Amino acid sequence: MPPPPQTNIGSILAAVNPYKQIPGLYDPEAVGLYSRHHLGELPPHIFAVANECYRCLWKRHDSQCVLISGESGAGKTESTKLLLQFLSVMSQKSAGTAPSKRSTRGSSHRTEQ
Tell me how far apart the alpha carbons of residues 103 and 11 are, in angstroms, rounded to a whole number: 29
- Structure letter (DSSP) for residue 33: H
Calculate the average pLDDT of the chain.
Answer: 86
50: Cβ–Cβ under 8 A, 6 or more apart, which residues?
Answer: 34, 66, 82, 83, 86, 87, 90
pLDDT at residue 99, rounded to an integer: 56
Residue 44 — φ and ψ, nearest 5°?
-55, 140
Average pLDDT score over residue span 4-24: 90
pLDDT tens figures, 34-83: 999 999 999 999 999 999 999 999 899 989 999 999 999 999 999 999 99
Q: Please give the sequence-ordered ranges of beta strands (E in DSSP) within the chain, or none if there are none.
A: 6-9, 12-15
**Confidence band for 110, pLDDT divided at 50, 70 and 90:** low
- H or E stretch covering 28: helix 28-35
pLDDT at residue 103, rounded to an integer: 46
pTM > 0.75: yes or no: yes
